[in-house]
């Protein structure tokens, strides 16, 4: 749809990085319009996870994650080391930075929604210095260890928690009961937003235009839209636009879109209930969480499995129903923080039984990005003692 398009402006984050001396060297592969969890849906083909690259040049074809799989692969192979100190930009709506980071064995941050990381709420746990975590309360949500979780992921996560406890942190089991409904709510809301945002691509005023075949009925504007969108959008984008359009329709708006927004509020309320740090987005509460019972951060596995295998000509197609559902399920651990707009950081935690990377997520209250990063830094040092 945007082939040969050159944007007349930069994103704010690109402008700020450039002004600070960073060099933007190019674009990385990703799922079309950022819609995908495994990087199946790119116009350039899927990104192969570089962790499986062998000395002879062959690679075990596993996903680098999506949608920002190209960014993760670039960092993992140090392709951007000289220009941005081994960093890359990605987009994360439901886990599209954190999943690739987990699969590729690197660090990936989704900041608090609406702010630039580390600009607000400085000063929580001022005494958190060096490796000491005295006073830090770490919540472990029980809903993030479902039966679908790959068994070999649990052991490294538990080892990280043991190391945090040894450094003075208090590990607290918590419950986020609305978590099981997050994935369904996310796909309704995100598809509705995608349908609305992509409506401008109509073949008339914005984006490419596909000329209809001779004899086509052009008396209806909808036909012009259909010819362009069926050729300009990939199958996954079309799928989500159809879902989103239906969710926003008069017959489905109440039962799907509004219901999903209600679930979103419940999920945010769950997080607010367990954090001892109040959200700057909320009105002052007359019944704040007791700091002796609430937690400062949450820690849980970033993904339900290590990097999945990429589909090939002999396996399932990326377009068949099973593969699509499998891709959607990958987001189950990451979408709750996205729905609540919270900062979430993936940190490498070791390797699974198959030898591939796994990650843990550190999630904080809205605006506590600095604390999340500081805890993540300690976790990186913890791995040296495991």
- d(CA 318, CA 320) in angstroms, rounded, equals 6
Residue 232 lies in a domain: yes
Give the pLDDT confidence score for residue 12 in this predicted structure. Answer: 84
* Of 101 and 208, more confident: 101
3-state secondary structure of 191: helix
Residue 161 lies in a domain: no
Q: What mean pLDDT value characterizes the chain?
A: 85
Residue 317: Cβ within 10 Å count = 13
pLDDT tens figures, 57-77: 677 889 999 899 999 999 998
Residue 272 lies in a domain: no
DSSP 112-179: PTTS-TTSSSTTTTTT--TT--TT-EEEEEGGGS-TTS-HHHHHHHHHHHHHHHHTTPEEEEE--TTG
CA distances from 13 to 88, 115, 281, 302, 314 (A): 11, 11, 22, 25, 41
Would you give the distance in Å from CA 187 to the centre of its chain?
A: 13
* Domain count for the chain: 1
Give the pLDDT confidence score for residue 207 in this predicted structure. Answer: 78
pLDDT at 313 over 60: no
Which structural domain range is residue 214 located in? 181-256
Least confident of 211-225, 308-322, 345-359: 308-322
Give the pLDDT confidence score for residue 101 in this predicted structure. Answer: 95
Q: What is the mean pLDDT of residues 94-121?
A: 82
Give the pLDDT confidence score for residue 285 in this predicted structure. Answer: 60
pTM here is: 0.88
Give the pLDDT confidence score for residue 312 in this predicted structure. Answer: 64
pLDDT at 346 over 90: yes
Residue 348 lies in a domain: no
Give residue 26's pLDDT band: very low, low, confident or very high (50, 70, 90): confident
Give the pLDDT confidence score for residue 114 in this predicted structure. Answer: 86
Residue 190 lies in a domain: yes
Residue 91 lies in a domain: no
pLDDT tens figures, 257-277: 999 999 999 999 999 999 998
Residue 156 lies in a domain: no
Q: What is the mean pLDDT of residues 284-309?
A: 82
pLDDT at 208 over 60: yes
Residue 154: Cβ within 10 Å count = 14
* Of 60 and 126, more confident: 60
Give the pLDDT confidence score for residue 56 in this predicted structure. Answer: 60
Which of 355, 363, 379, 332 shows the shortest CA–CA distance to 157? 379
Give residue 120's pLDDT band: very low, low, confident or very high (50, 70, 90): very low
Least confident of 88-92, 177-181, 368-372: 88-92
384 φ/ψ sector (left φ>0, alpha ψ -120 to 50, else beta) = alpha
Q: Give backbone dihedrals phi and psi of 171, rounded to 5 degrees, phi first.
A: -95, 125
Sequence-distant (≥ 6) Cβ neighbours of residue 21 within 8 angstroms:
none
Contact 362, 378 (CB under 8 A): no
Residue whose entry in the numeric block shows the structure tokens 């605006």: 367
pLDDT at 309 over 80: yes
- d(CA 264, CA 331) in angstroms, rounded, equals 15
* Of 333 and 32, more confident: 333
pLDDT at 171 over 60: yes
Q: What is the mean pLDDT of residues 147-162?
A: 95
Residue 319 lies in a domain: no
């Amino acid at each position: 749809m945007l082939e040969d398009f050159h944007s007349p402006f930069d994103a704010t984050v690109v402008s700020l990085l450039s002004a600070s001396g960073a060099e933007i060297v190019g674009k990385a592969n990703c799922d079309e319009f950022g819609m995908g969890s495994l990087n199946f849906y790119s116009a350039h083909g899927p990104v192969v996870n570089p962790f499986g690259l062998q000395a002879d040049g062959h690679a075990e074809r596993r996903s680098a994650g999506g949608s920002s799989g190209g960014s993760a692969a670039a960092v993992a192979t140090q392709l951007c080391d000289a220009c941005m100190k081994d960093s890359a930009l990605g987009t994360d709506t439901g886990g599209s930075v954190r999943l690739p980071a987990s699969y590729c064995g690197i660090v990936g941050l989704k900041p608090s929604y609406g702010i630039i990381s580390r600009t607000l709420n400085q000063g929580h746990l001022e005494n958190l210095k060096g490796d000491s975590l005295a006073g830090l309360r770490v919540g472990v949500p029980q809903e993030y260890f479902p039966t679908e979780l790959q068994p070999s992921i649990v052991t490294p996560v538990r080892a990280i928690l043991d190391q945090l406890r040894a450094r003075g942190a208090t590990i607290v089991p918590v419950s986020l009961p609305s978590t099981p409904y997050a994935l369904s709510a996310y796909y309704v809301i995100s598809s509705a937003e995608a349908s609305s945002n992509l409506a401008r691509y109509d073949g008339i005023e914005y984006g490419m235009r596909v000329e209809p075949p001779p004899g086509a009925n052009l008396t209806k504007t909808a036909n012009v839209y259909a010819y362009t969108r069926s050729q300009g959008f990939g199958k996954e984008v079309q799928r989500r636009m159809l879902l989103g359009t239906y969710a926003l329709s008069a017959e489905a708006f109440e039962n799907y879109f509004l219901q999903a927004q209600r679930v979103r509020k419940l999920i945010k309320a769950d997080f607010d209930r367990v954090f001892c740090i109040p959200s700057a987005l909320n009105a002052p509460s007359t019944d704040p969480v007791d700091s002796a019972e609430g937690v400062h951060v949450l820690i849980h596995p970033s993904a339900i499995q290590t990097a999945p295998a990429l589909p090939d000509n002999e396996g399932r197609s990326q377009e068949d129903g099973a593969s699509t559902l499998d891709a959607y399920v990958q987001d189950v651990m990451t979408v709750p923080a996205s729905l609540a707009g919270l900062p979430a950081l993936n940190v490498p935690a070791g390797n699974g039984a198959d030898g591939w990377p796994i990650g843990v997520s550190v999630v904080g209250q809205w605006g506590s990005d600095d604390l999340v990063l500081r805890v993540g830094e300690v976790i990186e040092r913890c791995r040296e003692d495991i």
